[in-house]
Structure 1
C-alpha cells in the first residue's frame, strides 16, 4: 500500500499510521477485518436507504442458507461471518422520510452488530412465523425479494426458501412481493467514497505482481514456461495471504505463429507476453491484462510495431472512456466507442464489464469478445459511482513480424463518478521488458 493509501485506511480504522513504505503492502488480517466492517457499515448506511427510496421499496427481505448464499446477502456478512448460519434472514424496513432504515435479522445468530436481532426462538420457535409476524407488524406495501430472470446477481432466493416465505405469509402480504433487479444490482455495483479511498491499493498490488512476473526475476528466456509464470503468480498471491478469483493466464505471441502459445511452451527472446490476472482484497476484486516483451540481444525496447500496437489499444481505451455518460446503456456506449475507434482507423474489439464485489460484476456489459453488437445484457443504464474493467483489444499489423496481425489486449480498472472515468492506478503505456540473462 502506498503511504497515502495506508494513512487513509488506518484513519478509517481509527489507527495510527506506521512508517511509510514505497512498495504496496497488505494489511494484517485483523486490520483487514476491522476495515472491512467499517466499509460495510458505511455502505449499509448510505447505499441501501438511497436505493430503496429510489425504487419505491418499503421492505427488502434477503434469505439464504449456509453455503447457498444469495450473492447480495454474501456481501453483507461481517468479516467474521464467512457464510450464512443455518438460515440467515436479513430485513430492511423503510419507515418513511426523515427516519433511518431499520436493519433487522430474523436469525439465530447475530451479524457483527450490523443488524438488530428480531427473533426470539424461545418465544416463537418457528423462524418463518417470526418473519411473517415482523412483516405484518410493519405492514409494507412493496416487499422486494431477490428473484430475476435476467441478472444472476438479483436471483439469489432459492425455490425452497421462496416456498417457505410464501407459505408463511398472509395472502395480503404475499401479493405485495416484488422482484427487483435494480435494488440488488444497485447495491452490488455502487462504490462508496470510503471504498474508493482503498480500492486503488488493490490495483497497486495487482500491478506490482504483474511487473515482477513479467521481469527477469521470474522469467529466464529459453527455460521458463508460460505455466511456470502462471503458477508463480498464484504462489505470490498466496504468500501475501490473498486469493485470486480466477487462475492467471499467460500467453506467448511469437513471430510466425498465428496462434498464441500457452501451457508448457518455453518463453524465448523476441516473444510478446500477455497476462490476465486478478485478485481479491477487502472484498473487492481487480482484473488486469498487460503486455511484456522479451528483449533480444542488443535491444533496449520492444520493436516499434509492437509499441504502436499497444498505443492503438490505448487509443481504443480513450474512445471507450470518453463515451461514458450517465443514463446510457452498455449497448449505446459500445456503439459510440466503436464508431470513434473505427473513424480513427483502428480495429477495436470491446468487452468491458463492471467490477467490484465480483470480478465480472453487477451492472451493464459493454460488449462481449464474441459479440460486438447490442446484447440484452447490455441494456442496463450506466450509473455514477461505479467501477469498471476497461477490457478490450486493438488488432494491428506488426511490420517487424512480416505484417503479422496481433490482438493487443489491455484491461485496466477504473471508476466512473458520473462525469468522468479515472483509472484506479496508472494504465499500461509501455511494455514490461524482460532482459535476457547472459
Structure 2
C-alpha cells in the first residue's frame, strides 16, 4: 500500500468518525431535551389540566407524532401523578419497541399488567390520545381504543378524557436545552439562505435549483430533506393589491428564473 492510499484511508476514517460523533451528539441532545421536558414540563402540564393519569398509546407500525417526545415507537406510555416533584413514568407492551433511553422510565411491563397498575393508583381522570381538535393528540386507533377499554374496565373507562390540552401544554412549553437546539437549527437555516442568495444569477438561476441545493446543504447538517419536493424561495414583488400591497409574481413555478428587482 503506497502512502497516497494510506493517507486516503486515514482521511476517510476521520470523516466517518466525525459524522458518527455528530450523530451521537444529536442523539444525546434529543435525550437531554426529553429528560428535561419530562422532569420540568410534564408535572405542570398534567396538573394545570387536572389529569391524574395520562395514557398515550402507540400502535406497532403506525408512526405517532409523539414518538420523539417519549423516545419510543410502540406501547402504552403511562404517566401518573402521585404527588411530589416527579411524575411516575411507565412503559407497557414495549417488547418489540425501539426505546431511545430506558433510563427515563420507572416501570416496565406487559399490556396485561396495566389493569392492576391503574387500579392501584385509582385515578379520577385519565387522559388518552383521542381528539377532534388536534391531530397530534388523536393517534389512538379504534382497535386500540377498544383494547384499552377492555384493559381498563368500565370503572376507569368512564374516567377517560382527551389528552389534547395536556399534549398542547407539554409541547408548547420549552426547556432551555430545547431552545438552544432550535437556535442552532435556525442559525443553520439562516446560513444556508444567505449562501443561497449569493448563488443567484439573474436570468439564469431557477427556483428549483436553489431549492434542491438548500436541501443538500441542510442534509449535511443532519436536517432531513423533504420527501415532497424541495421548498423553493417565494417570489414577491410590490404590486397593486389593495389588501396586502404584495402579490405573487405570475408564472413563478419551479423553472422560473430569478430576475433583477424580484423581492424574495
* TM-score, normalization by structure 2: 0.79
- State the match for 1:105 in structure 2: 91
1:375-394 mapped onto 2 (5 Å cutoff): none
- 5+ residue gaps, structure 2, are 1-20, 240-247
- State the match for 1:264 in structure 2: 255
Shift of 1:273: 4.3
CA distance in 2, matches of 1:142, 1:224: 58
1:359-374 mapped onto 2 (5 Å cutoff): none
Shift of 1:209: 0.4
SS in 1 for 2:233: strand
Shift of 1:207: 0.6
Shift of 1:131: 1.5
Residue 94, structure 1, aligned to residue 113, structure 2 = no
Where relative contact order (Cα < 8 A, 6+ residues apart) is larger, the structure is 2
Change (3 A) 1:99 1:212: closer
User: Which structure 1 residue ranges, 4+ long, deviate > 4 Å from structure 2?
Assistant: 253-258
Residues 325-355 of structure 1 show CA distances to partners (whole Å, capped at 9, x for unaligned) of xxxxxxxxxxxxxxxxxxxxxxxxxxxxxxx
Q: Where is the helix percentage greater, Structure 1 or Structure 2?
A: 2
Indicate if the aligned counterparts of 2:235 and 2:249 stay in contact, CA closer than 8 A: no
CA distance in 2, matches of 1:38, 1:183: 21
Query: Cα RMSD (Å) of the superposition?
Result: 2.3
Shift of 1:111: 4.7
Residues 354-384 of structure 1 show CA distances to partners (whole Å, capped at 9, x for unaligned) of xxxxxxxxxxxxxxxxxxxxxxxxxxxxxxx
Residue 159, structure 1, aligned to residue 153, structure 2 = no
Indicate if the aligned counterparts of 1:59 and 1:142 stay in contact, CA closer than 8 A: yes
Residue 56, structure 1, aligned to residue 46, structure 2 = no
Residue 137, structure 1, aligned to residue 126, structure 2 = no
* TM-score, normalization by structure 1: 0.49
CA distance in 2, matches of 1:117, 1:188: 23
Residues 1-20 of structure 1 show CA distances to partners (whole Å, capped at 9, x for unaligned) of xxxxxxxxxxxxxxxxxxxx
Residue 31, structure 1, aligned to residue 25, structure 2 = yes
Shift of 1:161: 0.8
- State the match for 2:11 in structure 1: none
CA distance in 1, matches of 2:78, 2:28: 24
Indicate if the aligned counterparts of 1:253 and 1:260 stay in contact, CA closer than 8 A: no
- State the match for 2:4 in structure 1: none
CA distance in 1, matches of 2:49, 2:237: 53
CA distance in 1, matches of 2:203, 2:64: 48
